[in-house]
Amino acid sequence: MSTPEQPTPPTPSAARGVFGSERLELAERYAEWLATAGVLRGLIGPREAPRLWDRHLLNCAALADVIDRDATVCDIGSGAGLPGVVLGIARPDLRITLVEPLLRRATFLDEVVADLDLSNVTVVRGRAEEIKTLHAFDVVTSRAVAPLERLLRWSMPLVAPQGSMLAMKGSAVADEVAQARSTLRSLGCAEPEVVSLGAEDSVHNTYALRVAWADPTRVGLPATPPARSSRRRRR
């Protein structure tokens, strides 16, 4: 699958500790998919290929450390499968749904999932707001999808009463939380928790923002206020 123009980057020693000997081969095959078809189809930038492991695979695998066993996971805007496919490789106990609206990306995900035989991963082509299984997932993940205010409105309707949104964010996560305060309140979210990912392994500065429901017995989006009538009162 690799080509002279985009050779698959060598597997770092840290990958064995992250994926384990039983799942390492799957991670290597996925890295090959990203470095070749992923680049050719425009899902991964050519400059990203040499640093796939540190910047993408190991980076996303760190998210697995903060997800409970046997959880149901919905990865919205999955793109090339980051972090959803990585989680499916690292954690076969998880039941993962990859949600991706663009056909070429969803097709890529279908091919990868089939080739790696990831029986715990399902691909759904569509937008997060079109998913009908509301409040059904223990965890809703995302990576580089949208600013927090929009991400909350797409993710929280899918979060189960006892579940949480788990969004991968960069060093500006605190600023995003500050800007999204009104949205957090209007949706009935609890105080967000910022979790540092992969610090011990020197993975790039990445954080997981965990957002749960303030009151698990009352979940859902606020009602939309009725539109004001444009008709004038007759005299």
**How much is the pLDDT for 221?**
58
129 is in an annotated binding site: yes
Confidence of residue 222 (pLDDT cuts 50, 70, 90): low
Residue listed under structure tokens 């290597």: 28
pLDDT in tens, 184-219: 999 999 999 999 887 554 445 689 999 999 999 988
Partner residues linked to 98 by β-bridges: 75, 123
Higher pLDDT, 204 or 41: 41
pLDDT in tens, 107-140: 999 999 999 999 999 999 999 999 988 899 999 9
**How much is the pLDDT for 28?**
97
**How much is the pLDDT for 161?**
97
pTM for this predicted structure: 0.88
Average pLDDT over residues 63-76: 97
199 is in an annotated binding site: no
Average pLDDT over residues 173-190: 95
- pLDDT over 70, % of the chain: 87
Tell me which residue of 58, 4, 67, 64 sits closest to 28, measured CA to CA: 58
Say yes or no to pLDDT of 229 above 50: no
**How much is the pLDDT for 144?**
87
- CA–CA separation, 101 vs 193, rounded Å? 28
Say yes or no to pLDDT of 226 above 50: no
**How much is the pLDDT for 205?**
65
Cβ neighbours, 10 Å, residue 217:
6
82 is in an annotated binding site: yes
**How much is the pLDDT for 151?**
96
**How much is the pLDDT for 26?**
98
Spell out the domains of the chain, with CATH numbers in brackets: 62-212 (3.40.50.150)
pLDDT-wise least confident of 27-31, 147-151, 212-216, 219-223: 219-223
Say yes or no to pLDDT of 169 above 70: yes
Confidence of residue 15 (pLDDT cuts 50, 70, 90): very high
Say yes or no to pLDDT of 231 above 50: no
